[in-house]
Structure 1
Amino acid sequence: MGEHSGARIALVVINFLVFGAMVTLNELSAFPQVANSIFARINNTVTDYGLGVSPQGIFNMSSGNLRAIENLDVTPAGFTFMIWTVIYIWLLLAHLYTLILLCRRNAVGPVYNSPAVVTPAFLIIYTINLLANIAWLFLWDNRLHIPSSALMWLVALTNWIALGIIHGTLYHHGPWMSRHAKVDLWMFRILWHNGLAIYTTWSTIVALLNLGVALKNEVPLDAQIIVYIILGSISGIMVLWFILENTVLDRFVRYTVTQYAVIVLAMAGIYINKYNGSTMETGYFIVVLLGVSVFCFVARLGLVIVRGIKHPLYVNNKIGDDPVLSFAA
């Protein structure tokens, strides 16, 4: 327990490098002329820089133009997609915090390993998620609707799995950390829990929008039915999660609240972009779902504050004063 783990350090570093690649490619996709210039002809000589990419470039068009082409009746306004920048910055801070843990020790041993909140299982699932995100970017850019939809659902699924793993491990070590590493406990809650919650919620919404595009272009399905599928799924997932997080999952996800801000932003973007031109049924659905998401956000914040005061976590756990013995126990 007190020794370094080379394998775990390697996983943390590899995960960070893959994250950096994912962010770089996603940002370049918004500016294809910049990305493509990297692979342009230099002095009339075809250059692929050893990457095997044709000199025409790696992206066909900007992500904004793609959204305009693949427009749905519930596509949010363009500003909504700036949430990707928030996700990247938040997760970057979480990654940097984890890298700092590699350089710290406590009374038990290296902080990243004792307690082991960022587990190999989490790092592997999360790395698969980042790689799937990169692959989705190229499938979506080439308008491969069905494969890109399937891959975005893989991104959303691995996000949910990673979110569950890191919540579970932090809860397991929570009693010890609440006594001996309270700052780290809150850093994990703020950076990893809430950062991944934003990423997971947004990737789920994007997966539903991507599914709508696939249904529109490949089936094709009536536009109103696609609206019902997307907004109905968001409604069902949100209400189900609100019930679970405030009952059986409360002790695990008590301080994870950012998911509702994402839904509010998405619904506000849909309202601004589509409400005036929507059918009566779609308009009602958008307004009601926006109102429900705001209610869930406010109610969740209120419940977290009240429960944090009246029913704080870990108060009934018997943790000894010696960190080695209490951790081993």
Structure 2
Amino acid sequence: MVNHDLARVVLMFLGLIMFLAAITINSMSGFGAESGVFQQSTEDVTLKYVTLFTPANWALHAYDWLYTTPALLPYGFHVSMIANISLNITWLFLFDKELLLPALITSALMTLTDYLLLFFSCHGLKIYGAWLNKYHNVDLWLFRVLTFSDLTEKQKLKTHHKSSLTFVILVLNQVQNGVAVYATWGSLSTVLNLTIYLQYQTGTFSCGCSLLPLLLLLMQLFAWFLLENFYLDEHVRYVVTIYPLVILWLTGTLNNSSSPESLFYIFTALTLAISCVMFVARVALVTWRHHKRPLYTGPSMSPVEIALTQRKIFL
């Protein structure tokens, strides 16, 4: 148990260092040459490589608050987070030097780690959900909805209970929907990087190279809608923040467009309308299933019993 806890502490400490480094470097990237590290700000590079898919500045600034919700979850989550932050920092320097293809590849890998973060957060809630629902229902909803939960009462647990509840206490610190927002933003950012690369490195017609990412985004939306509602319901039942972020991005894209009669504008508006319909349908389905098909109806195992059935990467 000592080795088990030590490994987690090391990962948490390394993750904290990387997290603070990411905040610092992301902040410095906003100052460009004044930072003494970057040649230009990320916003300047984005404005230099404007595409039809690029949203208005007010939509891009939604990214700023994503680093205010650090996560503490199982081993797999810690490893994925460290890899994600490392890729994020790498992308900042590649984008600063306008290395568009390496930046695109890095963004795609970063999005992959975003999906892993979402997987581990949802899996953690699934395996401990029944126990939380029975004994700590409020904490369960804090995990699903809010940013941080108060650990004061948890710290008053008896010593011989602390080891078995370590994971559960850590779980209560993180937003499940916040991870989904982060993963969604990663997907949108990768699509934007793809658009920039196609338009400025391959010479593809601006409207044509922007329609392809829009089509990819629409395919992702349909695929996720089917997965979350019909195949992964027990894992992602209360994840609903994906669509509002897509709606925000597409609204910013339309707001940034100067050709309301163009094919791209029409396709973007159609994608926006579909996203809105999906969001309403998702909320309706979640509400109906919450009342008619509750997730946790059977007996619940204790955290110790659960730990004995899981691989270390999921603990």
Tell me the TM-score normalized by structure 2: 0.83
| SS of residue matched to 2:191 | helix
Deviations 1:297-321 (A, max 9, x none): 2221222122111211111x2136x
| SS of residue matched to 1:246 | helix
Distance in 2, matches of 1:319 and 1:64, equals: 50
**2:51 matched to which residue of 1?**
72
Deviations 1:59-93 (A, max 9, x none): 1112222111100012100111111123122x24x
Deviations 1:249-308 (A, max 9, x none): 11100011111111000000001001x325621111011111111111222122212211
Superposed displacement of residue 180, structure 1: 2.4
Counterparts of 1:171-320 in structure 2, within 5 Å, are: 171-190=126-145, 191-274=174-257, 276-277=258-259, 280-315=262-297, 317-319=298-300
Q: Does the CA-based 8 Å contact 2:128-2:306 persist in structure 1?
A: no
Amino acid at match of 1:80: A
Distance in 2, matches of 1:11 and 1:72, equals: 39
Aligned residues: 281
Superposed displacement of residue 211, structure 1: 1.0
Amino acid at match of 1:299: A
Counterpart among 64, 74, 85 of residue 64 in structure 2: 85
Q: Does the CA-based 8 Å contact 2:144-2:177 persist in structure 1?
A: yes
Tell me the TM-score normalized by structure 1: 0.80
| SS of residue matched to 2:121 | helix
Superposed displacement of residue 170, structure 1: 1.8
**1:168 matched to which residue of 2?**
123
| Largest Rg, 1 or 2 | 1
Unaligned runs of 5+ in 2: 146-173, 310-315
- Asked if residue 59 in structure 1 is aligned to residue 56 in structure 2, the reply is no
**2:163 matched to which residue of 1?**
none
Unaligned runs of 5+ in 1: 37-57, 99-117
Q: Does the CA-based 8 Å contact 1:176-1:327 persist in structure 2?
A: no
Amino acid at match of 2:42: S
- Alpha carbons of 1:128 and 1:270: their partners in 2 closer, same or farther (altered >3 Å)? same
**2:94 matched to which residue of 1?**
139
Structure of higher RCO (CA pairs closer than 8 Å, 6+ residues apart): 2
Distance in 1, matches of 2:18 and 2:175, equals: 17
Superposed displacement of residue 242, structure 1: 0.8
Q: Does the CA-based 8 Å contact 2:260-2:266 persist in structure 1?
A: no
**1:106 matched to which residue of 2?**
none
Distance in 1, matches of 2:235 and 2:45, equals: 38
| SS of residue matched to 2:290 | helix
Superposed displacement of residue 6, structure 1: 0.7
